[in-house]
Homo-oligomer: A and B are copies of this chain.
Amino acid sequence: MIKVGIVGGTGYTGVELLRLLANHSGVSVEVITSRSEEGVRIDDMYPNLRGHYDLQFTVPDVEALSECEAVFFATPHGVAMKMAPELVERGVKVIDLGADFRIKDLELWSQWYGMEHTSPELAAKAVYGLPEVNREAIKGAQMLACPGCYPTATQLGFLPLIENKLIDHRRLIADVKSGVSGAGRGANIGSLLCESSESMKAYAVAGHRHLPEIKQGLSEAAGRPVGLTFVPHLTPMIRGIHATLYGKLKDPTDGLQELFEARYADEPFVDVMPAGSHPETRSVKGANICRISVFRPQNDDTVVVLSAIDNLVKGAAGQAIQNMNIMFGLDEAEGLKHAGMMP
């Protein structure tokens, strides 16, 4: 059994890690930390876990964490970059669900995240954990940066088009809708049921932190800098991201369906749906899967890709476990084989 630790276990990605790891045959969660909830049983905070764990939150402590073989950071940005270097040095494999190691250009990172990066050396070595792009590098990673939720849905949808240079890389549009859990478990007025249910809104249209991350990934795939307009929206549901992606085809193109199917044929967690399908986020609720469909409306030169994930699973905790499985040479799907929950 691989000994696992979780730093910052009180948020939604933390409890989702716990929910998923409870069904993983190869790991044992040994440590879970939270400064504010020290001494609280995790199942007092999350009663869905009653009977599954006998664990309390402890104060983060490098000694205790370095007894683990893998440590997940489910923390706001700025935390992992402080603790990860020592853990990695001691041989622990670190998997960061936060934003500290996603962006390679640390000046850019500083602009968007408003602080200096304190761990540039480790950032240079970190592997971006999108298995559908980086599987080989992930196998050998010591420091793994899990993609954000918006970037996962958006990149997986655009990749087949970008990699094959089928669309104008300067004019990508990503109109993406997220459930409220994407905003985390913080006590923000905007996330209250009375503020966010029975309503829809865009936010951060002028600029969102996931923009540089998506551009970085798509630019790598394109082999040159892409131009992207990214508009995130808050949707009145708990879980789910639905990306609606628009690109301008360079030439009239048939065979987009086959192209997408071929691109993801061997991917266990990307499902290209039959032509004409519209993926619903509820079909991926609780499951580590991205469902995609592709359209060319009116046979015109605009291609529309629909891409749906559960932001807490394929967009966070599930993808983190998928990465862990790859890093430790386990079955990539271990702990992630269950179906989504409909209704």
Contact = CB atoms under 8 A, between A and B. Distances in A.
Contacts of A49: 339
A273 B277 CA distance: 37
A280 B193 contact: no
B281 A199 contact: yes
Contacts of A284: 48
Given A240-B198, A341-B48, A246 B273 contact: no
A85 interface: no
A291 B308 CA distance: 29
Q: What is the copy number of this chain in the assembly? A: 4
A343 B297 contact: no
Interface residues of A, number: 89
A17 to B, nearest CB: 12
Contacts of A308: 200-201
A273 B47 CA distance: 9
Interface of A: 12, 15, 18-19, 22-23, 44, 46-52, 171, 173, 175, 177, 179-181, 185, 187-189, 191-203, 205-207, 227, 229-231, 233, 235-240, 242, 244, 246, 248, 271, 273-274, 276-287, 289, 291, 295, 297-298, 300, 302, 304, 306, 308, 312, 337-343
